[in-house]
Amino acid sequence: MPLIDRVLLGPGPSNPYPEATAALAAPLLGHLDPAFLTLLDETCARLRSVWGTANVRTLPLSGTGSIGMEAAFANTVHPGDTAVIAVNGLFGQRMVDVASRYGATVVPVEHDWGQPIDVDRVLDAHPNPAIVAAVHAETSTGVRSDIAALGAAVHDRDPDAVVIADCVTSLAGIPVEADDWGIDIGYSGTQKCLGVAPGLAPFTVSDRAWHRRVQKPPTWYLDLGLIGDYVSGTATGGRTYHHTAPVAMIASLHAALGRILDESLDTVYERHRVAGEYLQTGLQDLGLELFAAEGHRLPELTTVRVPDGVDGPKVRHRLLTEYNIEIGAGAGRYASTVWRIGLMGHNARLDRAELMLSALAKLL
Amino acid sequence: MPLIDRVLLGPGPSNPYPEATAALAAPLLGHLDPAFLTLLDETCARLRSVWGTANVRTLPLSGTGSIGMEAAFANTVHPGDTAVIAVNGLFGQRMVDVASRYGATVVPVEHDWGQPIDVDRVLDAHPNPAIVAAVHAETSTGVRSDIAALGAAVHDRDPDAVVIADCVTSLAGIPVEADDWGIDIGYSGTQKCLGVAPGLAPFTVSDRAWHRRVQKPPTWYLDLGLIGDYVSGTATGGRTYHHTAPVAMIASLHAALGRILDESLDTVYERHRVAGEYLQTGLQDLGLELFAAEGHRLPELTTVRVPDGVDGPKVRHRLLTEYNIEIGAGAGRYASTVWRIGLMGHNARLDRAELMLSALAKLL
């Protein structure tokens, strides 16, 4: 059967960087091979650059992006801890579910979908929560929130509070500065702006979060105390085997990060900004209405309302079957009334934006 | 830098089947693309063949082999449940840790390492445990245990008891018959006899285990109730998005399973048997002593004692640096006194066995 080669313009996965694809198919190394451990160390160092952090414990977790959320709460929630969670989309809602499962007393702060989080409301929701969590780039709505303001406000009030930030759709697409912003635990996924297939969750932990971590969480697989012994050693010593690392995926991430840093982060951000702006202007020129609040739109993920009288799923189906282009449905209650269009990583380019606009124009 | 191309003859990862490597680098599909969902359905069907099961809920979990162990206990252990766990190596020990974390009252049944489990002792350890667990092929010792006898005995006594079997190093290397043997939950890893890079945990759940599952386990990522909704639907309907599936890894598993079933399971088992026997005979001809008890040795993973006066780590280092061959150290207290040599999946061949024997002979 001929291979299908899609243009992946949904909310992720995106088409990987060619360097990432080539590395996936390179000869496999063992997870304890010195050559692999050097590659793992380099991968962690490159992740530190992208996260804007000096955190020793910055690593790719062995699962898809959601496993980062799970690891964040599993290792942070002690019995009786209060977690204030800003909810302005599906992934904020999921945080509430996950934190509750690990025993947190959750104070959700609900926002209208399509709006960024209101830092004052999040701060006023509880006087001294142990954990404050929010989504930087809501994959369900295409909205960017101000994590820098949130981190500063939380730590000004309580230097011991832990700030958790979901950066699944932001990392390597728009600036993330974990240390400057006061992010204690950040997690992401590889299949968005990092331009790698899904399967790893880049993760970073501050010393503050590390020291107050749960000593023996229910999860063995995501126990940071155990994983830390494997990752914070060096290629020549101090490592303890935990689980067999997904070596091919890590080699792929290593290659994509090399590509991104060679291009330079600023250039990559600018490429995302320019492509996203081109698309958003073009969609409005077609008479379409953007969903995310103006001034808070992600360049890498655009949400647009399905025009009245147009069958949203049918247009997506025709894009896929006639033009080989995948875009996303809306999330939650906006499933059939919103489209989500991603220009992420390798796809953050004018040719992708132009193709998207012209194909959509033909179908409307 | 030139790429390093190792001969991976340790306890895993093994060198993948070429079909699996090619599929890793194929154009990426979205996780909700009908073409991908068809491929996922086929992958689950192929896994059923390899597991010897009709279980609807047979799927690749999105993590490395250890996540299968975690999912097994996380979804099975209710408060107060007793779990009898046969321990004859490192992975039995790990089961004890994981089951305890999820609140089981664990009754470990310790065996000498290198010996198979004693079904009578396991049975006598507790009159009515909710869960009985054992490792089919102990990766730490190279020993095969009789899961068929265990499953029959447990279910004869109590039709409601759940039998959990670790098949990480057995699946697709030696016969596994989940339904005939009474395995309620089985898990494996892709990087051993399945001949795929590490990153997925093939998993199967019987109706008995499904009906008594924990309704809301602490883990969201591994909540079978949620994952089941994604996997047990069809390509055209009934699916609910859970997390972004690791599409490239699943495509790779799909290809390796196709290769294995084309070759036929019986031929694949025979290939493992012949290669393992050749290696084990050859090692003994060199004057070396095998570690695993005779009559219970895995063909795909051979454990051999480091001869007196030989520096075990140094020989492994020379194999790696001079011959590009990776073998494994021993596990646990046998780390420096045992070597582990795998002939798994694509490496279950006489040329690999012969290369291993002749290189080792040169170094001894």
Distance CA B122, CA B154 (A): 9
* B116, burial (CB in 10 Å: exposed 0-12, middle 13-18, buried 19+): buried
Annotated binding site of A: 340
**Cα B244 from Cα A247, distance rounded (Å):** 19
User: Quick check: A249 and B244 CB within 8 A?
Assistant: no
Scanning B2-21 for CB atoms below 8 A from A yields 3-6, 8, 10, 12-13, 15-16, 21
* Distance in Å, alpha carbon of A17 to nearest chain B alpha carbon: 11
| Cα–Cα distance measured from residue A25 to residue A278, given in angstroms and rounded to the nearest whole number | 34
Quote the minimal CA–CA distance from A70 to chain B in Å: 7
Region(s) of chain A under CATH 3.40.640.10: 18-262
In which band, very low, low, confident or very high, does the pLDDT at B234 lie, cut at 50, 70 and 90?
A: very low
Chain B residues closer than 8 Å to A323 by CB: none
d(CA A167, CA A176): 8
**Residue A224 φ then ψ, to 5°:** -60, -30
Task: Kindly state the average pLDDT of the residues B194-213.
Answer: 96
Pick B28's closest partner by Cβ from A16, A98, A247: A16
- Counted residue by residue, chain A has a size of 364
Token pair listed for B122: 């396991």
> Is residue B260 pLDDT above 50, yes or no?
yes
Q: What pLDDT does residue B228 have?
A: 77
Residue written as token pair 């792929």: A252
- Cβ distance B243 to A66 less than 8 Å, yes or no, reads yes
**Any idea which architecture A18-262 has in CATH?**
3-Layer(aba) Sandwich (3.40)
Provide the CATH number for the domain formed by B19-262 in this structure: 3.40.640.10
Task: Enumerate residues 275 to 304 of chain B having a beta carbon within 8 A of any beta carbon in chain A.
Answer: none
Would you tell me how many other CB atoms lie within 10 Å of the CB of residue B274? 16
Residue B236: its pLDDT value, please? 47
Give B228 or A188, the one with higher predicted confidence. Answer: A188
Mean predicted lDDT score pLDDT of chain B: 95
Q: Which residues of B touch A33 (CB under 8 A)?
A: 4, 6, 320, 326
On whether the A7-13+264-363 domain is CATH 3.90.1150.10, my answer is yes
What count of CB pairs under 8 Å joins A to B? Answer: 178
Chain A residue at shortest CA distance from B63:
A63
Q: How far is it, in rounded angstroms, from Cα A39 to Cα A26?
A: 13
Taking 60 as the threshold, does the pLDDT of residue B237 lie above it?
Answer: no
Task: Confirm if A50 and A204 have CB atoms less than 8 A apart.
Answer: no
Report yes or no: B352 and B275 within 8 Å, Cβ to Cβ.
Answer: yes
Please judge whether A220 and B66 are an interchain contact, meaning their C-beta atoms are less than 8 angstroms apart: yes
β-partners of residue A204 are: A58, A186
Q: What is the pLDDT of residue B346?
A: 98
Q: Are strands A143-144 and A137-138 parallel, antiparallel or unpaired?
A: antiparallel
The answer to whether residue A258 neighbours chain B at the CB level (below 8 Å) is no
A residues 179-218 closer than 8 Å to B (CB): 189, 191, 197-199, 216-218
- Which of A42, A244, A327 is most worth mutating to test chain B (most B CB atoms within 10 A of its CB)? A244
Smallest Cβ–Cβ distance between B6 and the set A5, A30, A98 belongs to A30
Nearest-CB residue to A243 (from B13, B66, B248): B66
* Binary contact (A16, B25; C-beta < 8 A): no
Under a CB-based contact definition with an 8 Å cutoff, are residues B176 and B50 in contact? yes
Instruction: Tell me if chain A has a CB within 8 Å of the CB of B251.
Output: no
* Level-2 CATH architecture, domain B7-14+264-363: Alpha-Beta Complex (3.90)
DSSP state of A160: T
| pLDDT (tens digit per residue) in B69-122 | 999 999 999 989 999 999 999 999 999 999 999 999 999 999 999 999 999 999
Mean pLDDT of A319-323: 98
| Least Cα separation, residue B315 to chain A (angstroms) | 15
**Token pair 């097994």 is at which residue?**
B72
Distance from CA of B64 to the nearest CA of A (A): 7
Burial grade of B62 (CB within 10 A; 0-12, 13-18, 19 or more): buried
Report yes or no: A31 at the B interface, CB cutoff 8 Å. Answer: yes
Identify which of A228, A250, A265, A243 has the alpha carbon closest to the alpha carbon of residue A42.
Answer: A250
CA distance B296 to chain A (A): 25
Residue B211 CA to residue B223 CA, distance in Å, equals 14
pLDDT band, very low/low/confident/very high, at B239 (cuts 50, 70, 90) = low
Average pLDDT, chain A: 95
Question: Residue holding tokens 């990480």?
Answer: B168
Closest by Cβ to A30, choosing from B10, B26, B102: B10
Q: Is the CB of residue A108 less than 8 Å from the CB of residue A135?
A: no
Is A68 touching B (CB cutoff 8 A)? no
pLDDT at residue number A10: 98
In this prediction, residues B125-147 reach a mean pLDDT of 98
**Distance, CA of A254 to CA of A245 (rounded, Å):** 14
B16, B70, B244 member nearest A28 (Cβ): B16
Is the ipTM above a cut-off of 0.90? yes
- A221 to chain B: which residues are within 8 Å by CB? 63, 66-67, 70
Sole residue written with tokens 């050749």: B278
pLDDT of residue B229: 73
Q: Residues 6 or more apart from B17 whose CB is under 8 A from it?
A: B195, B196, B255, B256, B259, B260, B345, B346
**Chain A residues lying within 8 Å of B4, measured CB to CB:** 27, 29, 33, 35
Q: Which two tokens stand for residue B74?
A: 């996380």
* Residue reference for tokens 């489990």: B117
Helix runs in B198-264, H state only: 207-211, 224-231, 247-263
The reply to whether A317 touches chain B by the CB within 8 Å rule is no
Residues of B in contact with A5 (CB under 8 A): 27
Nearest residue to B69 (alpha-carbon basis) of B166, B200, B191: B166
Distance of CA B343 to the CA centre of its chain: 14
First to last CA, chain B: 32
Output helix, strand, coil percentages for chain A, rounded to the nearest 5: 40, 15, 40
Residues of A with Cβ-Cβ distance to B26 under 8 angstroms = 3
In chain B, ranges of CATH 3.40.640.10 domains: 19-262
- Chain A contact set for B15 (CB, 8 A): 27-28
| A166 touches B: beta carbon within 8 Å | no
A217/B101 Cβ within 8 A: yes
Per-residue pLDDT at A40: 95
Question: Is there a contact between A85 and A107 (Cβ–Cβ < 8 Å)?
Answer: yes
Q: Are B249 and A199 in contact (CB under 8 A)?
A: yes
End-to-end CA distance of chain A: 32
The tokens describing B300, both together, are: 């795909």
Average pLDDT of A108-124?
98
Distance of CA B50 to the CA centre of its chain: 12
Residue B340 assigned to a binding site: yes
The mean pLDDT of B298-319, rounded to a whole number, is: 97
- CB-based contacts of B312: which residues, under 8 Å, 6+ apart? B306, B329, B330, B336, B337, B338, B339
Chain A touched by B257 (CB under 8 Å): no
Residue spans in chain A of domains classed CATH 3.90.1150.10? 7-13+264-363
Residues of chain B with CATH 3.90.1150.10: 7-14+264-363
B64 close to A245: Cβ distance less than 8 angstroms: yes
Which amino acid is it at B188?
Answer: S
| Gap from A210 CA to chain B (nearest CA, Å) | 20
Instruction: Examine the pLDDT at A288 and tell me if it is beyond 80.
Output: yes
Helix (H, G, I), strand (E, B) or coil at A302: strand
Question: Which of A34, A66, A249 has its CB closest to that of B221?
Answer: A66
- A198 and B29: CB-CB below 8 Å? no
Neighbouring residues of A281: CB distance < 8 A, sequence distance ≥ 6: none
CA A231 from chain centre, in angstroms, equals: 21
A33 touching B (Cβ < 8 Å): yes
CA angle (A344, A349, A355) in 5-degree steps: 100
User: B333 and chain A: CB distance < 8 Å anywhere?
Assistant: no
Compute CA A41 distance to the chain's CA centroid, rounded to the nearest angstrom.
Answer: 21
Model confidence pLDDT, tens digit, residues A175-234: 999 999 999 999 999 999 999 999 999 999 999 999 999 999 999 999 999 887 777 654
Compute the distance between CA of residue A101 and CA of residue B222 in angstroms, rounded to an integer.
12
Chain A CB contacts of B35 under 8 Å are 4
For chain B, what is the largest distance between any 2 Cα atoms, rounded to a whole number of angstroms?
64
Residue A210, CB-side half-sphere exposure with 13 Å CA sphere:
15
* Cβ pair A198:B102 closer than 8 A: no
Instruction: Supply φ then ψ for residue A71, to 5 degrees.
Output: -65, -35
Distance CA A215, CA A34 (A): 29
Q: DSSP assignment, residue B52? A: T
Optimal mutation site among B214, B244, B323, interface A, most CBs of chain A within 10 A = B244
